[in-house]
Amino acid sequence: MENMNHLAPHARFKIEEDNIFKVGAKAKAAKEQFGAAQVVDGSIGILLDDQGQLALMKSVDQATALLKGEELAPYAPIGGLASFNEDVVSYLFGQPKGPVKAIATAGATGAVSQMVWNMLSMGDMFITHDYFWSPYRAIARNYVRKLVTFQTFTETGGFNVAGALEEVRRCLDIQGRALLVINVPCHNPTGMDMTMEEARSLKDGLVALARNNPQKPITLLIDGAYWEFGDATANSALLNTFTNLPDNLLFTLAYSISKSLTRYGFRTGALAFCHSRTEVIDELVGTFVSSIRATWSNTTRIGQAVFSKIYRNTELRAQLQAEQTAFATLCNQRGATFVAESDRIGLPHTPYKKGFFTILPTANPQQVADRLAQERIFLVPMKNGVRIAFCALPTHQIHGLAERIAKFI
């Protein structure tokens, strides 16, 4: 009887403490003991203003107040409100060069998890960079898939296109299909991005693999959770790069309202499908809608309604864009300041362009994080280093922080 377990074999051994929330809890306790001003809490990926308060956008408050009960209370359609799905496509793609459709999801996380479930078979692998957002691993485990990685950076600090393509080729050989997940712009946890040259090289490599394996499907998922914190022109260029693709190469994009509207609790996002043939997209949408019904039933309505209320109101949309620009500038300047000071004193970090985070490489992440915590500096230990969240640090705490951290790395 001692070997009896109520859990099915595939469900066992999932319990794993989340390092990010664990460090956040320690930082919270330190603030209560010593006062917030005495604590550097670079743990949680939520944007705070320089007073340490949630960076909330007034345009979102105004749009929410304009919504009536009947716009908020009913269930949303399983695949999302038609207005929201249309507005997301228009917002992200402008005038698409080919067929595009979107569905509402439970945040970008919901989009990623549904992709892993629907595009792969039990036991299959999906691919991402070796610096990655830790829930990718949890998603793989939960859906009985495997996560495989390639080295994120080349020796010169660029994005490792060749490594990504080699893993796609390997997956095609082993399992007859491939799903490649790339988190750009403002990659979590390094702050890296692809250049346009790298994006074009990735496209050319995927197209070549698709044409050499015409019966094997390849899917590229861009996890664009931090879309507005990147460069708008570069984002548009990225989407325009992945057009005119072979039939067996599918381009998809996950989008998040958590960051774009700074409303993390809305748990709303979208998944966009781009393919040359509308009938292929229609089958994907129908399949994913059925899968959503079996998972979280339908996506939260309020986030969709607020997004469309803003998007279809010229004044609110202009106000939101101004607020997004101001908050992105605030966060990215914090990152740029920290990186500049790190470079000046020789503190190593992963290649950073923009975004919420970067990684400070170290062979002993947990030991370094523990030593920093004794100095009331709370960073998250990860596989290859400690992660610092600029998004949560007031600007005055950024100055001199690299020098304080360098003593322990």
> pLDDT tens for residues 129-164?
999 999 999 999 999 999 999 999 999 999 999 999
Query: What three-state secondary structure class fits 222?
Result: strand
pLDDT confidence of 18, banded at 50, 70, 90?
A: confident
Average per-residue pLDDT in the chain?
Answer: 95
Residues in the chain: 409
**Any idea which of 11-20, 136-145, 146-155, 166-175 has the lowest mean pLDDT?**
11-20
Domain-wise residue ranges, the chain: 1-409
Mean pLDDT of 208-219: 98
Close Cβ partners of 287 (under 8 Å, ≥ 6 residues apart):
118
DSSP string, 234-284: HHHHHHHHS-S--TTEEEEEEEEHHHHTT-GGG--EEEEEE-S-HHHHHHH
* Sheet (strand 380-381) strand order: 357-361, 385-389, 380-381
Residue 37 has pLDDT above 80, yes or no: yes
- Please state, in angstroms and rounded to a whole number, the distance separating the CA atoms of residues 228 and 355: 9
Residue 409 has pLDDT above 90, yes or no: no
Residue 48 pairs with which residues in a beta bridge?
A: 54
Task: Dump pLDDT digits (tens) for 60-94.
Answer: 999 999 999 999 999 999 999 999 999 999 999 99
Structure tokens at 56: 């909330």
What pLDDT is attached to residue 19? 81
Domain 1-409 falls in which CATH fold?
Aspartate Aminotransferase; domain 2 (3.40.640)
Backbone angles phi, psi at 388, to 5 degrees: -110, 130
**Any idea which of 16-25, 175-184, 256-265 has the lowest mean pLDDT?**
16-25
Mean pLDDT of 117-121: 98
Burial 55-93 (b: 16+ CB within 10 A, else e): bebebbebbbeeeeeebeeeebbbbbbeebbebbbebbb
Burial 95-125 (b: 16+ CB within 10 A, else e): ebebebbbbbbbbbbbbbbbbbbebbeeebb
Neighbours of 264 (CB within 10 A): 16
Q: Are 149 and 128 in contact (CB under 8 A)?
A: yes
The percent of residues above 70 in pLDDT, for the chain, comes to 100
- Please state, in angstroms and rounded to a whole number, the distance separating the CA atoms of residues 36 and 28: 8
pTM of the model as a whole: 0.95
* Residue whose entry in the numeric block shows the structure tokens 């959770």: 225
pLDDT confidence of 16, banded at 50, 70, 90?
A: confident
Task: Dump pLDDT digits (tens) for 304-328.
Answer: 999 999 999 999 999 999 999 999 9
Mean pLDDT of 195-202: 98
Q: Pick left, alpha or beta for residue 245 (phi over 0 → left; psi -120 to 50 → alpha; otherwise beta).
A: beta
Close Cβ partners of 148 (under 8 Å, ≥ 6 residues apart):
125, 126, 127, 167, 171
pLDDT confidence of 390, banded at 50, 70, 90?
A: very high
- Please state, in angstroms and rounded to a whole number, the distance separating the CA atoms of residues 169 and 186: 26
Residue 335 has pLDDT above 70, yes or no: yes
* Residue whose entry in the numeric block shows the structure tokens 């859906």: 143
